[in-house]
Each structure stands twice: as C-alpha cells, then as structure tokens.
C-alpha cells in the first residue's frame, strides 16, 4: 500500500513538473494544443494507478 502510494504521487509530480517545463519552453499557440495531451496523460496515469489499487477486485 505504502509503495503504491509513493509510486502514484511520484508519477503525478513527474508529469506535473515535466509538462510545466515543456509548456514554458514552447510558444503559446503550441502550449494550447499541448494542454489536452497533458490532461490525457494525467488521466491515463490516474486510471492506471486506480486499477493497480483496486483492479484485482473488479
């Protein structure tokens, strides 16, 4: 449980920092297109972690 928590949080932090940096570097119009991709990545990560936590009871 503890290890899984740590992995989930590190994934969230990693995605956040990486995407914040990328959004800073690219110009504004590209950044607008990138935001949905970042959201998609975060959604996939959260769903994957959720399945990791509770997947065996589904």
Partner 1 sequence: MIAFFQNIVGSVLNNFIIVIIATLMALFIDFLFPTFSKWTRMFLLFIVITIVLQPAFEHLVLIQKIAHSISMTFLSIYPVLTAAMIASGGAFGMLNFQPAMLLFANGAVFLTERLLIPLLTAAIVLDLASRLLPEVSFSKMSDLIRTTLLGLVSALVTAYSIFITTGGTMSWAMSGFASEPIKELVRQNVPFIGSFMTESLGAIGKYSSGAAIFAGGWLITSIWTIALVPTLKTLFTAFLYRWTAALIEPFADEDITGVLDDIGKTLFVLCAVSFLIAFALIYTALFTVILVKLITTMK
Q: Which residues bind partner 1 (CB under 8 A)?
A: 2, 5, 9, 12-13, 15-17, 19-20, 23-24, 35, 38-39, 42
For residue 31, the minimal CB distance to partner 1 (Å) is 10
For residue 1, the minimal CB distance to partner 1 (Å) is 9
Nearer to partner 1, 39 or 48 (CB): 39
22 close to 37: Cβ distance less than 8 angstroms: no
What's the CA gap between 46 and 15, in Å, rounded? 11
What's the CA gap between 20 and 31, in Å, rounded? 10
């Amino acid at each position: 449980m503890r290890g899984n928590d740590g992995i989930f949080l590190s994934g969230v932090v990693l995605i956040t920092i990486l995407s914040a940096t990328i959004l800073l570097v690219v110009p504004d119009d590209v950044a607008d297109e990138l935001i949905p991709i970042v959201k998609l990545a975060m959604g996939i990560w959260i769903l994957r972690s959720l399945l990791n936590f509770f997947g065996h009871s589904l």
